[in-house]
Structure formats: C-alpha cells, structure tokens
C-alpha cells in the first residue's frame, strides 16, 4: 500500500542552528591552533544575548566573543530591528577546563588506544533513492532552504526575506518504496513587515511557488517528475512571521539532530554533533557509520543500509557493530555476517576513525547548517585569527565521510 513520509529542515538563521554554528566555529578555531584540543561547547541564543558554556582542554587562547559575532554576522543578523544583531548582542562566556576524570579515560600513552569520549550508540544510514545516498524528503527540504538563503543574499527577485526559516516535504511512496510524487511542501520564512497581512501572504506564496520552486527543479532535474500541480503548499501557515530568530525563540546547540542526520529515516542514537571535538564518538562514530553505510550501498551490498556502533567511555574497542538491510540485501549473507565483514574492513576505534576521516582538522563550521550528511567532499583553504595577531592558514578536506573511497575494497570482500 502506498504511504506518505515527511522530513523537515531549518535554515542557518534558525535559533538552534545559530547555536550550532557558533559552537562549531569555536571547535574549528581551537583545532586550527591546537589539533589536540578537547572541546565540548554549548551555545544558547535569545533576544540580544548569547551564552557560551562548556569544557575545553587546549593550548590556545581564543577571543570567543569575536568568533560568535563573526558567525552571527555571516548568517545575516545585521539589523537592529531583528532584536538580535552581531555587533550589539551581549555575549557571556562560561567555558571552563575539561574534567580531568574524563580526560584520563580518553588520552592514552599510545594514541591508538585512545578511549571513547563517552558511552552510547551511533547510527549511519544510506539509501540509493538519491545520487548522494540520502533520504529524498530530507534532501529536498535542505535544498529548499539553501536556495531560499541564496535568494535572500541576492536580494533581487525576493527582497523582504529575513534569516529564520523552516521547510518540510511530504513524499508519496509506491508499494515498492519508490518515491512517486511530492504530496506537500511547508515553508515558513521570516520576512520584513508588510502594511497589509493578506497581501503579504499572497505575495510570499506567489514568490515561493513561482520563483523558489522553479530554481529547485532546475537544480534537481532528476527529481523534476515528482513536482506536480497537486502539491499542497503551506506557506507561512500561521500568517505573519516578522518576529523570528533568537527574538522569536530561544536557540540551543544540539536540538536539531534529526535535521542534521537522516530526517527520521534509519535511526539516531540521541547524541548531538555540533560543539564536540572528534574524541566524542557521538560525532566521529556517527560520521564513520555514515561512511560505511554509503560505501556499502554504493558497492551494491544492499539498496538501503543502517549501521550501528556502540561504545563504553574510556574503552577503545566498540561494543559491537550491527547492520540492518531492510530486506534489500544483494548478497547471500545474513545481516550478522555482513557486520563481521564490515568489522574486518573498518577499524572503529576512535583514533583510527579520526585518522581515516581526517577529523582533527577545522572542518566543522560547514557541517552546522543544512545537514552533516549527504554533502559534497571538497578541499578548501581557511584562515583563522587569534588574540595577539596570530594567524593560521590551513588547507583541509571537508565531508570526508561522504567519499566513496572504500567501494572497491567492499566489492572485493563481498565478491561483487
């Protein structure tokens, strides 16, 4: 029987995502000047105020206030009428040193025996319903908001947009789990004030349907057939959305973990990513399991795969690896047998994950909006500044966990 499935996304100007981006900017700056930094930074944003808290063990000193202001400015909170503005918001730092009790469980004389930064389970997922092996509803939700942000920055075709926005896409699937059409699209976008609310709502809906949607179709031609004249659009369904961002809602690091991952497909272990250095397996092992799942699907092991790994704090070896293929396996092996082969190919001890995916680099700011998974690997050069005039320029590889660099090895192991 055909069914509906929905995923959502939020923009870079959403309060929770502002918090994530500030936390990850702090991570990048610490790692740029001290690659061995241990960092767990949480951010709270509200009307005219940013609060930074967390634990750090690092040999560098940073101007955390300036880093936060730079992030807020880049997002687009640059006007006083937003009631949250880069130059004028108050910033309180309550960052302190990491617990020695935790640190002794992570650091080891031999780096290979580095313990997991916490207990817990992490999941990675991949499906072949899109070219980037991501769930389609989430992929489209992200695309809508990335393009909306591009329209905001261009300030030509649509000139009233403000930074805060959310999207949601509902897909209809056939009996054989193939997406056949878009049933509904929800977009709520913050905007400048209008004189008349009915005219405002009509204008925003017209612009979304006639300007944004065609740009999405043009950038996703492989999914053009899913767009149809029966899509149920809900554009700013509550009416006015002038008050937004941290003035409309308080934002916290780590509150958009489903947006960050798979939009409700697969599973999630519950741990957030942003603000955590890669010794925290909440982050590094989630990237590693995505890397495994994506390469397994790309190699043809199954059409859809979920990978779980679990850890005990301070222990290097994972508790175990679990594989679910949802009945789509293309190999004559049980899920348990597939998991055994995965264990032989991928070393899931924290140190080896960090090395394999090059995670002790300042690569995290780019992950903090529009999803950590399904992104395009690329090499970029970044420059960081520290108090006293120190500068550090580094060339780094982003989204290494999205590389299809183990496909041949997997095919050999599975006889494909």
pLDDT tens figures, 16-44? 999 999 999 999 999 999 999 999 999 99
Answer yes or no: do 225 and 186 share one domain: yes
* Res 3: pLDDT: 95
Mean pLDDT, to the nearest integer, of 171-191?
A: 96
Answer yes or no: do 124 and 142 share one domain: no
Question: Would 28 be classed as within a structural domain?
Answer: no
Strands lying side by side in the sheet with 120-127: 120-127, 304-311, 320-324
Question: Would 384 be classed as within a structural domain?
Answer: yes
* Res 118: pLDDT: 83
Strands lying side by side in the sheet with 49-57: 90-97, 49-57, 38-46, 251-252
- Check pLDDT > 80 for residue 110: no
Mean pLDDT, to the nearest integer, of 78-86?
A: 95
Mean pLDDT, to the nearest integer, of 365-372?
A: 98
Last residue of a domain, one of 228, 243, 258: 243
Secondary structure (3-state) at 24: helix
Question: Would 318 be classed as within a structural domain?
Answer: yes
Answer yes or no: do 285 and 407 share one domain: yes
**Distance between CA atoms of residues 321 and 308, nearest Å:** 6
* Res 117: pLDDT: 77
The domain that holds 155 is classified in CATH as 3.30.300.10
Query: If pLDDT is split at 50, 70 and 90, which confidence band does 106 have?
Result: low
Q: What's the Cα-to-Cα distance from 18 to each of 46, 148, 333, 373, rounded to whole Å?
A: 10, 17, 45, 18
Mean pLDDT, to the nearest integer, of 182-208?
A: 94
Kindly give the pairing relationship between strand 232-235 and strand 49-57. Answer: unpaired
Answer yes or no: do 143 and 124 share one domain: no
Query: If pLDDT is split at 50, 70 and 90, which confidence band does 55 have?
Result: very high
349, 356 contact by CB (below 8 A): no
Query: Is 256 annotated as contributing to ligand binding?
Result: yes
Torsion sign, CA atoms 95, 99, 105, 109 = positive
Query: If pLDDT is split at 50, 70 and 90, which confidence band does 99 have?
Result: low
Query: Is 109 annotated as contributing to ligand binding?
Result: no
122, 285 contact by CB (below 8 A): yes
Query: Is 156 annotated as contributing to ligand binding?
Result: no
Answer yes or no: do 208 and 284 share one domain: no
Last residue of a domain, one of 219, 243, 267: 243
pLDDT tens figures, 287-301? 999 999 999 999 999
Query: Is 206 annotated as contributing to ligand binding?
Result: no
Kindly provide the b/e burial profile for residues 174-204, where b requires at least 16 CB atoms within 10 angstroms of the residue's own CB.
eeeeebebbbbbbbbbbbeeeeeeeebbeeb
In degrees and rounded to multiples of 5, residue 401 shows phi and psi of: -70, -5
259, 328 contact by CB (below 8 A): no
Answer yes or no: do 313 and 378 share one domain: yes
Last residue of a domain, one of 224, 243, 262: 243
- Check pLDDT > 80 for residue 100: no
209, 201 contact by CB (below 8 A): no
176, 163 contact by CB (below 8 A): no
User: CA angle, 277 as apex, 96 and 107 as ends, to 5°?
Assistant: 80
Query: Is 272 annotated as contributing to ligand binding?
Result: yes
Query: Is 66 annotated as contributing to ligand binding?
Result: no
**Distance between CA atoms of residues 254 and 165, nearest Å:** 17
**Distance between CA atoms of residues 157 and 145, nearest Å:** 16
Kindly provide the b/e burial profile for residues 104-129, where b requires at least 16 CB atoms within 10 angstroms of the residue's own CB.
ebbbeeeeeebbbbbebbbbbbbbeb
Answer yes or no: do 140 and 124 share one domain: no
CB atoms within 10 A of CB 223: 20
250, 159 contact by CB (below 8 A): no
Query: Is 165 annotated as contributing to ligand binding?
Result: yes
Answer yes or no: do 221 and 145 share one domain: yes
Query: Is 255 annotated as contributing to ligand binding?
Result: yes
Answer yes or no: do 237 and 291 share one domain: no
* Res 314: pLDDT: 87
Question: Would 67 be classed as within a structural domain?
Answer: no
Query: Is 280 annotated as contributing to ligand binding?
Result: yes
Question: Would 112 be classed as within a structural domain?
Answer: no
Query: Is 240 annotated as contributing to ligand binding?
Result: yes
| Residue ranges of E strands in 298-411 | 304-311, 320-324, 378-385, 391-398
Query: Is 118 annotated as contributing to ligand binding?
Result: no
Length of the chain: 416
pLDDT tens figures, 318-345? 999 999 999 999 999 999 999 999 999 9
Answer yes or no: do 146 and 212 share one domain: yes
- Check pLDDT > 80 for residue 112: no
- Check pLDDT > 90 for residue 367: yes
Answer yes or no: do 409 and 296 share one domain: yes
Secondary structure (3-state) at 123: strand
Q: What's the Cα-to-Cα distance from 57 to each of 38, 39, 54, 64, 277, rounded to whole Å?
A: 5, 6, 10, 15, 11
**Distance between CA atoms of residues 318 and 221, nearest Å:** 41
Query: Is 249 annotated as contributing to ligand binding?
Result: yes
Question: Would 358 be classed as within a structural domain?
Answer: yes
Question: Would 110 be classed as within a structural domain?
Answer: no
Nearest to 12 by CA among 153, 135, 125: 153
Query: Is 164 annotated as contributing to ligand binding?
Result: yes
Query: Is 147 annotated as contributing to ligand binding?
Result: no
305, 280 contact by CB (below 8 A): no
Answer yes or no: do 226 and 283 share one domain: no
Mean pLDDT, to the nearest integer, of 252-270?
A: 97
Please count the structural domains in the chain.
Answer: 2
Question: Would 301 be classed as within a structural domain?
Answer: yes
Domain range for 331: 120-128+278-414
């Amino acid at each position: 029987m055909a069914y509906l499935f929905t995923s959502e996304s939020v923009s870079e100007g959403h309060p929770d995502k502002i918090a994530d981006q500030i936390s990850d900017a702090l991570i990048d700056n610490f790692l740029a000047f001290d690659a061995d930094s241990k960092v767990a930074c949480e951010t709270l944003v509200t009307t005219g105020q940013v609060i930074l808290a967390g634990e750090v063990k690092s040999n560098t000193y940073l101007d955390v206030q300036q880093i936060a202001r730079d992030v807020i400015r880049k997002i687009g909170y640059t006007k006083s009428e937003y009631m949250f503005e880069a130059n004028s918001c108050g910033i309180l730092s309550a960052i302190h040193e990491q617990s020695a009790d935790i640190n002794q469980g992570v650091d080891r004389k031999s780096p290979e025996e580095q313990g997991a930064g916490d207990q817990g389970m992490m999941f990675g997922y991949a499906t072949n319903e899109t070219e980037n092996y991501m769930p389609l509803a989430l992929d489209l939700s992200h695309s809508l908001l990335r393009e909306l942000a591009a329209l905001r920055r261009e300030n030509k075709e649509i000139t009233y947009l403000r930074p805060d926005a959310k999207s949601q896409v509902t897909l209809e699937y056939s009996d054989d789990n193939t997406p056949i059409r878009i049933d509904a699209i929800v977009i709520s976008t913050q905007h400048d004030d209008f004189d008349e609310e009915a005219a405002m709502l009509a204008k925003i809906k017209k612009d979304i349907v006639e300007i944004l949607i065609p740009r999405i179709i043009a950038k996703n031609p492989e999914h053009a057939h899913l767009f149809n004249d029966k899509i149920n659009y809900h554009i700013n369904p509550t009416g006015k959305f002038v008050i937004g961002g941290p003035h409309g809602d308080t934002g916290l690091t780590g509150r958009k973990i489903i947006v960050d991952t798979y939009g409700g497909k697969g599973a999630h272990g519950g741990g957030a990513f942003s603000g955590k250095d890669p010794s925290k397996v909440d982050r590094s092992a989630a990237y590693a399991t995505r890397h495994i799942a994506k390469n397994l699907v790309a190699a043809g092991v199954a059409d859809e795969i979920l990978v779980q790994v679990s850890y005990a704090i301070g222990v290097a070896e994972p508790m175990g690896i679990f594989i679910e293929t949802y009945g789509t396996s293309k190999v004559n092996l049980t899920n348990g047998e597939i998991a055994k082969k995965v264990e032989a190919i991928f070393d899931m001890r924290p140190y080896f994950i960090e090395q394999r995916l090059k995670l002790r680099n300042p690569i995290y700011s780019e992950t903090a909006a529009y999803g950590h998974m399904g992104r395009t690997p690329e090499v970029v050069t970044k420059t960081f500044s520290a108090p006293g005039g120190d500068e550090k320029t580094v060339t780094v590889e982003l989204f290494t966990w999205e590389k299809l660099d183990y496909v041949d090895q997997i095919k050999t192991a599975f006889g494909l």
